[in-house]
Amino acid sequence: MGRWEPDAESRFRAAALELFGEIGYEQTTVAAIAERAGLTARTFFRYFADKREVLFNGSEGLQQTMANALAQAPAGVSAMEAIAAALARAGDFFDDDRRAFARLRSTVIAANTDLRERELIKMATLSVALAQALRKRGVGEPDASLAAEAGIAVFRVAFAQWVSESERRGYGVIVKESLARLRMLAAN
């Protein structure tokens, strides 16, 4: 079982989320995740440092994706338009294939203080990365930090909406609407 397995990472992820939901995050062991996935613990550790990383190891990719979008936005667009480009890229990232995972993940995180804190740290790190990307575009302070924080505010509110049970629209649609609402709120 130590050999290459097709889709091992996604099988571990699905197995872990099932167990987090069934018996709770704290009670779930890597051994149990591996058994549920039909793989070995040794293979698990090739993909994840620990069980917590099943929930968080996508965030570096998201951060890089959004920072790249900021860097690639056309020269001369405003700070908020550059943030809008980064949020649109997040909309591509959170496609409908990720939604079931994102819903389960949100439920697990909401039930555990340490995981909520970890999520807040990730959001703060993302905000710092976006502010840095804006400064590289020549946006000064405090504007870069304000625009980045406002972008994170939109990101978070839209995400909570996207994972809510009744919501059918895609993240890209929701985040675009949320940004438009924030702009409207700020103008009044």
**Contact set with a copy of itself (CB under 8 A):** 78-81, 116-117, 120-121, 124, 142-143, 145-147, 149-150, 152-154, 156-158, 160-161, 178, 181-183, 185-188
Query: Least Å distance between CB 81 and a copy of itself?
Result: 8
Nearer to a copy of itself, 6 or 166 (CB): 166
Query: Least Å distance between CB 40 and a copy of itself?
Result: 32
Query: Least Å distance between CB 132 and a copy of itself?
Result: 14
Neighbours of 2 (CB within 10 A): 9
Nearer to a copy of itself, 7 or 81 (CB): 81
Query: Based on the number of CB atoms within 10 Å of its own CB, is 179 exposed (0-12), middle (13-18) or buried (19 or more)?
Result: buried
Contact 144, 83 (CB under 8 A): no
Task: Give the end-to-end CA distance of the chain in Å, rounded to a whole number.
Answer: 61
Nearer to a copy of itself, 100 or 120 (CB): 120
Nearest Cα to Cα of residue 74 among 64, 65, 66, 85: 85
Query: Least Å distance between CB 58 and a copy of itself?
Result: 20
Contact 39, 12 (CB under 8 A): yes
